[in-house]
Amino acid sequence: MANVKFYAGESFPLEMHKVRIIQKLNLIPVEERGKAIAGAGNNTFLLNNRDVFMDMLTDSGVNAMSDRQLASMMKADDSYAGSETFTRLDKSVKHFFGCKYFLPAHQGRACENILSQTFVKPGYVVPMNYHFTTAKALITVNGGTVEELIIDEGLKIRSECPFKGDIDIGRLKEVIKRYGADKVAYVRMEAGTNLVGGQPFSLANYEEVSKLCRASKIPLVLDASLLADNLYFNKRREERCKKMTLHEIVLKFAELSDIIYFSARKLGFARGGGICTNDHDIFLRLRELVPLFEGFLTYGGMSVREMEAIAVGLDETLDEDMISQGPIFIDYMVKELDKRGIPVITPPGGLGCHIDAMAFLDHIPQEQYPAGALGSAYFIASGIRGMERGTLSEQRDPDGKEHFSNMELLRLALPRRVFTLSQVNYAIDRLVWLYENRRLVEGLRFVEEPRILRFFFGRLEPVSGWQGKLIEKFRKDFGDSL
Ligand code: F0G
């Protein structure tokens, strides 16, 4: 987005693109929203999108594509092996990361599966700045454990720390010493750290991690799924990066990594994924699993059209006008909510706006899932679906005890280039209303609880009749408004 001064003094996000394809949205009445969320077991994953007004569940695979991406999809070369499309994607990925080898996979967690199966064994550990749900589940399924070593500031809701995704180097050293370097499968650093509010890490921190890993001969794995946001913040917030081009920053990150993987549902604004490395032995080990789980080496489970779109999308990731749209909209939303006293994660990060449900609904105990309850209440209030990122998104401990999350967040993702500022203002308005009526909201309890990744398809019910009261209050305050 451009640095344009407004004559009136106050500035607003200004899009450097125009909308040329639209999709009609539905905003169903509040009573229908109540029925829809009850039918979905109070789990926003289980809503039908036709009942949703703004889909802020995720930015995964739902970012708006550019005209260049759509045009590229028309020239896809459909071939099982050796397609022209793969050649273009391969060239684009290798140029972007400056790496020698690239393996395609159908999405990010497929890469995590390949990495975990290759490196993780019972008794091994994977230290990381912070976990992502699928990354952790795939490590533990293979008998490994996860050590989360994000700096203390990273877990504070309100902070001015520009790089809350940094890892604590002292604790990393301690963990390597405690387990022994040979039991450390790899160190995983997640760009745009998802579960703590889309918070970036600094290039300086990554350099230190890399130095430590190289000295201990431990592979350093970069999860680059949210690299676009991270890059934007490196460029804006880190002095030395101000002088570098976006591509120079990417190449520096790549040089410091042994393996890079990404979900192209995020990086590249399409749908797919892949793994890169410069190490021939690592490449050969990982390669074995691609045809087994993904598909042949020249498509890895992706459609050729998506592969074409990723190739162009990566190129566009090096354009600051393109990658700044998300962070700038998020910055606007976070600051507007903050001004109105609504508890949000600060500083604004990437991915979306993260509401602190523990403070918003401080009367709901963690065992009644405040972030899940907030997601359900917000859908009723607005027709907007967010995603619970709290205790529901955790797995129970092996002894069946609830594993309370460090943070109880409602994530409102801002898929890039999808929503307009007036829609964001609507999202803010309904949150303000809900905040004023927060005492009407109560907790949730499970009626159906899957063992693994329960947040995807678990079903819950309200602990009382609070949803009916919320709907009544909405009608009282808004009359016949949708
Ligand atoms: N790593 C990160 C940092 C992610 O955010 C995701 C997905 C993955 C890996 C897995 O990639 O979905 O392509 O298999 N995040 C999505 C989200 C699901 O909604 O935040 P995937």
Q: What is the 3-state secondary structure (H, E, C) of the chain?
A: CCCCCCCCCCCCCCCCCCCCCCCCCCCCCHHHHHHHHHHCCCCHHHCCHHHCCEECCCCCCCCCCCHHHHHHHCCCCCCCCCCHHHHHHHHHHHHHHCCCEEEEECCHHHHHHHHHHHHCCCCCEEEECCCCHHHHHHHHHCCCEEEECECHHHHCCCCCCCCCCCECHHHHHHHHHHHCHHHECCEEEECCEHHHCCECCCHHHHHHHHHHHHHHCCCEEEECCCHHHHHHHHHHHCHHHHCCCHHHHHHHHHHHCCEEEEECCCCCCCCCEEEEECCHHHHHHHHCHHHHHCCCCCCCCCCHHHHHHHHHHHHHCCCHHHHCHHHHHHHHHHHHHHHCCCCECCCCCCCEEEEEHHHHCCCCCHHHCHHHHHHHHHHHHHCEECEEECHHHCCCCCCCCCCCCCCCEEEEECCCCCCCHHHHHHHHHHHHHHHHCHHHCCCEEEEECCCCCHHHHCEEEECCCHHHHHHHHHHHHHCCCC
133 catalytic residue (yes or no): yes
Structural domain boundaries, residue 96: 67-320
Model pLDDT, residue 405: 93
Please count the CA atoms within 13 angstroms of the CA of 431 that sit on its side-chain side.
Answer: 31
For residues 419 and 301, give the distance between their C-alpha atoms in angstroms, rounded to a whole number. 30
Distances from the Cα of 206 to the Cα of 254, 257, 267, angstroms? 10, 9, 19
Do the domain assignments include residue 280?
yes
Within this chain, do residues 361 and 281 fall inside the same structural domain, yes or no? no
Confidence class for position 371, pLDDT limits 50, 70, 90: very high
Q: What is the pLDDT averaged over residues 306-323?
A: 97
Confidence class for position 34, pLDDT limits 50, 70, 90: very high
pTM of the model: 0.96
* Pocket probe mutation, ligand 1, options 195, 263, 269, 388, max atoms within 8 Å of Cβ: 263
Model pLDDT, residue 2: 63
Mean pLDDT score of the chain? 97
For residues 123 and 180, give the distance between their C-alpha atoms in angstroms, rounded to a whole number. 11
Tell which of 320, 350, 378 closes a domain: 320
CA of residue 454 to ligand 1 center, whole Å: 16
Total domains, the chain: 2
Model pLDDT, residue 395: 87
Binding site membership of 132 for ligand 1 (Cβ less than 6 Å): yes
Per-residue pLDDT reduced to its tens digit, 113-160 = 999 999 999 999 999 999 999 999 999 999 999 999 999 999 999 999
Asked if residues 401 and 367 have their Cβ atoms less than 8 Å apart, the reply is no
Within this chain, do residues 274 and 346 fall inside the same structural domain, yes or no? no
Distances from the Cα of 89 to the Cα of 95, 134, 283, 390, angstroms? 10, 25, 17, 36
Per-residue pLDDT reduced to its tens digit, 255-307 = 999 999 999 999 999 999 999 999 999 999 999 999 999 999 999 999 999 99
For residues 479 and 31, give the distance between their C-alpha atoms in angstroms, rounded to a whole number. 13
Within this chain, do residues 341 and 278 fall inside the same structural domain, yes or no? no
Judged against a pLDDT cut of 80, whether residue 1 lies above it is answered with no
266 catalytic residue (yes or no): yes
Model pLDDT, residue 138: 96
Tell which of 298, 320, 342 closes a domain: 320
Residues paired with 125 in a beta bridge: 145, 184
Residue bearing the CA closest to ligand 1, atom 12: 108
Confidence class for position 384, pLDDT limits 50, 70, 90: very high
Please report, rounded to a whole number, the percentage of residues in the chain having pLDDT higher than 90: 95
Within this chain, do residues 304 and 178 fall inside the same structural domain, yes or no? yes
Binding site membership of 130 for ligand 1 (Cβ less than 6 Å): no
Asked if residues 236 and 206 have their Cβ atoms less than 8 Å apart, the reply is no
Task: Indicate which atom in ligand 1 lies nearest the CA of residue 264.
Answer: 13
Residue bearing the CA closest to ligand 1, atom 11: 108
Do the domain assignments include residue 291?
yes
Within this chain, do residues 157 and 126 fall inside the same structural domain, yes or no? yes
Model pLDDT, residue 465: 97
Q: For residue 300, what is the domain's CATH number? A: 3.40.640.10
Q: For residue 380, what is the domain's CATH number? A: 3.90.1150.10
For residues 133 and 144, give the distance between their C-alpha atoms in angstroms, rounded to a whole number. 14
Tell which of 295, 320, 345 closes a domain: 320
For residues 282 and 443, give the distance between their C-alpha atoms in angstroms, rounded to a whole number. 47
Binding site membership of 305 for ligand 1 (Cβ less than 6 Å): no
Within this chain, do residues 227 and 157 fall inside the same structural domain, yes or no? yes
132 catalytic residue (yes or no): yes
10 Å Cβ neighbour count for 244?
16
Angle of the 421-436 helix axis to the 325-339 helix axis, nearest 10: 30
Within this chain, do residues 221 and 301 fall inside the same structural domain, yes or no? yes
Asked if residues 73 and 309 have their Cβ atoms less than 8 Å apart, the reply is yes
Within this chain, do residues 328 and 312 fall inside the same structural domain, yes or no? no
Model pLDDT, residue 4: 81
Do the domain assignments include residue 15?
no
455 catalytic residue (yes or no): yes
Within this chain, do residues 262 and 366 fall inside the same structural domain, yes or no? no
Binding site membership of 194 for ligand 1 (Cβ less than 6 Å): yes
Binding site membership of 133 for ligand 1 (Cβ less than 6 Å): no
Do the domain assignments include residue 52?
yes
Task: Indicate which atom in ligand 1 lies nearest the CA of residue 109.
Answer: 14
Do the domain assignments include residue 152?
yes
Binding site membership of 238 for ligand 1 (Cβ less than 6 Å): no
Within this chain, do residues 327 and 423 fall inside the same structural domain, yes or no? yes
Q: What is the pLDDT averaged over residues 15-39?
A: 96
Judged against a pLDDT cut of 90, whether residue 381 lies above it is answered with yes
Judged against a pLDDT cut of 90, whether residue 3 lies above it is answered with no
Please report, rounded to a whole number, the percentage of residues in the chain having pLDDT higher than 70: 99
Do the domain assignments include residue 133?
yes
Confidence class for position 8, pLDDT limits 50, 70, 90: confident
Within this chain, do residues 333 and 443 fall inside the same structural domain, yes or no? yes
Judged against a pLDDT cut of 90, whether residue 452 lies above it is answered with no
Judged against a pLDDT cut of 80, whether residue 443 lies above it is answered with yes
Per-residue pLDDT reduced to its tens digit, 333-342 = 999 999 999 9
For residues 120 and 461, give the distance between their C-alpha atoms in angstroms, rounded to a whole number. 37
Within this chain, do residues 137 and 265 fall inside the same structural domain, yes or no? yes
Judged against a pLDDT cut of 80, whether residue 355 lies above it is answered with yes
